[in-house]
Chain A
Amino acid sequence: MRLVTAVVKPFRLEDVKAALQEAGITGMTVSEAQGFGRQGGHTEVYRGAEYQIDFVPKVRIEVVVDDAEADRVVRLIVEAARTGRIGDGKVWTTPVEDLIRIRTGEHGPDALR
């Protein structure tokens, strides 16, 4: 199994969720996040005083999938989250040793379905 983590623009979340649901992915965890990459924040102006805001609001999406599905899920997220402009975010995968469904105690890929 692999954990797919994506940090994307908040307004792309709906499209990413729809794409994954359509592809049969049955769950995800979403959290609000802040950060910066190459875009390096933005400026805000209050009463003429300019502030450099370092952290930009982002959404972090986490999905655990079978090894075989990981590439497809990454590709779906990349396509759904892309606007082509700076600040679109990142997606990465990490190996997952084990997974347990709390309600039933099922382990491994069985707990995914």
Chain B
Amino acid sequence: MHYNSGDTAWVLVSAALVLFMTPGLALFYGGMVRRKNVLGMLIQNFAVMAVVSLVWVWVTYSLAFGPDAGGVGLIGTLHFAGLAHLNQVVPGFSGPHAMTIPPVAFIIFQMMFAIITPALLTGSGADRMKFGAFLVFIVAWSVLVYAPIAHWVFSPDGWLARRGAEDFAGGTVVELNAGMAGAALALVAGRRRGWPNSLMRPHNIPLTVLGGGILWFGWFGFNAGSALTANGAGTAFINTNTATAAALLAWIAVEKVRTGKPTTLGAVSGAIAGAVAITPACGFVNTLGATVIGALAGAVCAVAVSLKFRLGLDDSLDVLAVHGVAGLLGVLLVGFFGTAASLGSDGLFYGGGAGLLGHQALAVVTVGAYSLLVTAGIAWVIRATVGLRVSENDERVGLDISLFEENAYDFEASSGSRALGPFGSSSTSRGAT
């Protein structure tokens, strides 16, 4: 084993950066929901961190990166379940693909991707899902959707990876997957009561800005960490920043033309769209590619957010229009702008022909269709058994009070006293007299 301590240190730090993205996402989304549902949003994201952390070490890491079952590249075996055989090389990462970090560092880094991907779905089912049903959904989705797709693309033994589909940091596995799954969840869960005609404006845009800033920051771990080497991370790092910047400006430019004014929410949304689009491409393109990919993503997504009103699909916080659309764009644009020694062949614009674009298109279609169909199936089964949505009354009252008996903000002058439960009549409160 020839491990490089610089590489290992960078990947471990990157893993921590990527974990921080999920609380960032919680704030990004939490600010966009109505005041009565903000805690419902935050707890869902935090719960995903806990649920997937356990599911990953016990089951899904092995399904995603374990030895391929049957050699067809669809799913890994349970050889690594419970993190057994921890010192064995991750299958496929040998020869020219050999890692310079210990497998456990890779397991930790990839775990954070497995966490934030289902966390993205909280934006599609916002304001209406039962908490228990949501947790069951996350477990099932991690096993049946995330693990197989990660295996197809991220494991060198996966069928898409072997065919030559390129995804530097998760444009298919994370972004397109989350976008399509989000659309499926929104479809099966149904619209929020009152959508699209009642006023459902963001209740705290500063929270959204803070969350977006944390995401931008964490994305350096997400993308540049995916190089899995410290010296090789710089290209992905600068491309991530360049595309994010271009997309922010493109989104607010489109707003200026469409509605007359740029908006704060648009600026943050644009930054996220750019970071999403460069994710699959960040290690494969040059500065021109990063700038164009970012600008296109910002402009296209700024328009795509209006599609849900035409479709009648309450994808509440635009997971499809931002993550799905920008992810799709980024994956396909690798086929045009890709130019790197690590690619099998360059993209169309750099003399590599249409081969790479074909592989990318195949990945988009298969990952998108699988994610949409299997997610809809999982959500449908949960809806038909334990139920997916809270009651009409709970939805009206808001998740914070109806599901969690908590209030996010104490703005009112209020009157009350401590309710004495089983532990309420403590010796301190009585003994004082």
B199 touches A47 (CB 8 A): no
Q: Which residues of chain B in 199-241 are interfacial with respect to chain A, using CB atoms and an 8 Å cutoff?
A: 199, 201-202
A49 to B199, CA, bound (A): 10
A51 contacts across to B, CB distance below 8 A = 199, 201
B263 touches A46 (CB 8 A): yes
A53 to B306, CA, bound (A): 19
A53 touches B199 (CB 8 A): yes
Interface size on B, residues (CB 8 A): 18
A48 to B265, CA, bound (A): 10
A44 to B259, CA, bound (A): 10
A47 to B263, CA, bound (A): 8
Q: Does A45 contact B (CB under 8 A)?
A: yes
Q: Does B255 contact A (CB under 8 A)?
A: yes
A50 to B305, CA, bound (A): 12
Please give the distance in Å from A5's CB to the nearest CB on chain B.
22
**Partner of B269 from A44, A45, A47, A50 at Cβ < 8 Å:** A47
Q: Does B193 contact A (CB under 8 A)?
A: no
Chain B proximity mask over A24-62: 1 for CB below 8 Å, otherwise 0: 000000000000000000001111111101000000000
A44 touches B265 (CB 8 A): no
Q: Does B162 contact A (CB under 8 A)?
A: no
Q: Which residues of chain B in 65-106 are interfacial with respect to chain A, using CB atoms and an 8 Å cutoff?
A: none
Closest A residue, CB atoms, query B263:
A45
Chain B proximity mask over A4-31: 1 for CB below 8 Å, otherwise 0: 0000000000000000000000000000
A45 touches B202 (CB 8 A): no
A47 to B302, CA, bound (A): 7
A49 touches B306 (CB 8 A): yes
Please give the distance in Å from A47's CB to the nearest CB on chain B.
4
Q: Does B318 contact A (CB under 8 A)?
A: yes
B263 contacts across to A, CB distance below 8 A = 45-46
A50 contacts across to B, CB distance below 8 A = 259
Q: Which residues of chain B in 237-261 are interfacial with respect to chain A, using CB atoms and an 8 Å cutoff?
A: 255, 258-259, 261
Chain A proximity mask over B291-334: 1 for CB below 8 Å, otherwise 0: 00000000000110110010000000010000000000000000
**Partner of A47 from B196, B261, B318 at Cβ < 8 Å:** B318
Chain A proximity mask over B419-430: 1 for CB below 8 Å, otherwise 0: 000000000000
B255 contacts across to A, CB distance below 8 A = 45, 48
B201 touches A48 (CB 8 A): no
Please give the distance in Å from A54's CB to the nearest CB on chain B.
9
Q: Does B266 contact A (CB under 8 A)?
A: yes
Closest A residue, CB atoms, query B254:
A48
Of the A-B pairs whose beta carbons lie under 8 Å apart in the complex, a sample of 5, sorted by A's number, is A46-B263, A47-B265, A47-B305, A48-B302, A50-B259
**Interface residue ranges, A against B (CB under 8 Å):** 44-51, 53
**Interface residue ranges, B against A (CB under 8 Å):** 196, 199, 201-202, 255, 258-259, 261, 263, 265-266, 269, 302-303, 305-306, 309, 318
Q: Give the top 3 A-B pairs by smallest Cβ distance, nearest first.
A: A47-B305, A48-B306, A45-B259
